[in-house]
Amino acid sequence: MSKINWEGVYPAMLTPFTAGDEIDFPMFEKNVKAQMEAGSKGIILAGSLGEGSTLDSSEKNQLLKFAVEILKGKAPVVLTIAEQTTKVAAGLAQEAEKNGASGLMILPPMRYKADDRETVQYFKTIAANTSLPIMVYNNPVDYKIEVTPDMFEELAKVPTIQAVKESTRDVTNVTRMRNRFGNRFKLLCGVDTLFMEETMLGVDGLVGGLVDAFPRETIAIFELVKANRYEEALAIYRWFLPLLELDIHPKLVQYIKLAAVQTGLCTENVRAPRLPLEGAERERVLATIAKAIATRPTLPDYIPTQSLVNA
């Protein structure tokens, strides 16, 4: 079985596209290297932010293989699984393992609002079909299914179900999970606007969005909080919050891609039915990004500078 620490910052990677609607692999590589140089501990592919719902299985496999080749085992590559049927999800998990994935981030069943028993069985069946470590994505706000502590009691019996992307938007859930399960599950904050608060409450890591555009600032906040340097972290966090709010909007893909364009780490192209921003909306988002870049803080000099990937 592969091993992942499930600690630190894991970018939910954007999927850059060319003007011809193909995956822009050189730009993807540039962003991956920027994440590693900043101190990210791994990457997550083909999630909501990565426009996974618009990628076909061939593209997901290409992206996975390419990421594995870039990182050469120096950091884990986690593939997202978000499917309508258990059979397809289990098959994709097996394929991901064959193609070099280090782990999986798994959403509950798509479209059908499974009940608690069905949802638990869904996760268990996928886990039974792969040896890869699994992070459960718990996001009832966007995906309408909450994985409750009682459900995690059942999932705790499966050794490969190891981590939780905590996106309930209820910060007390961090303490609730710790009180009930101790350190059985690694907990990673999944909401950018809550990640300082949840890091102070003891999460092990962050699955981030704006880290795609601002990797050093994101990792600085996380590491400063872990080092009990709260005032330094808070100063950066207050600067960052208007940008972090771009992550909690239905157009988070367009918004964060636009931010990453400004920092040279993505293209603005999105895959239909999404369309690039235009008009007043685009100007408003650009103004938020421009103000942040103009006031970008100087970071403490401890931030990791040694790349895990050859430049």
Average pLDDT over residues 49-72: 98
Average pLDDT over residues 267-279: 98
Over residues 127-170, the pLDDT tens digits come to 999 999 999 999 999 999 999 999 999 999 999 999 999 999 99
How does residue 2 score in pLDDT terms, banded at 50, 70 and 90? low
- The pLDDT value recorded for residue 90 is 98
- The pLDDT value recorded for residue 3 is 87
Domain annotation for the chain: domains and CATH numbers:
8-294 (3.20.20.70)
Which of the two residues, 202 and 310, has the higher pLDDT score? 202
Average pLDDT over residues 32-43: 97
Average pLDDT over residues 31-53: 97
What is the rounded CA–CA span in Å between residue 94 and residue 127? 10
Show the beta-strand stretches assigned E in the chain. 8-11, 43-45, 77-81, 103-106, 134-138, 161-166, 186-189, 205-208
What is the rounded CA–CA span in Å between residue 244 and residue 303? 20
Over residues 232-266, the pLDDT tens digits come to 999 999 999 999 999 999 999 999 999 999 999 99
Positive or negative torsion for Cα 97, 99, 104, 105: negative
- The pLDDT value recorded for residue 135 is 99
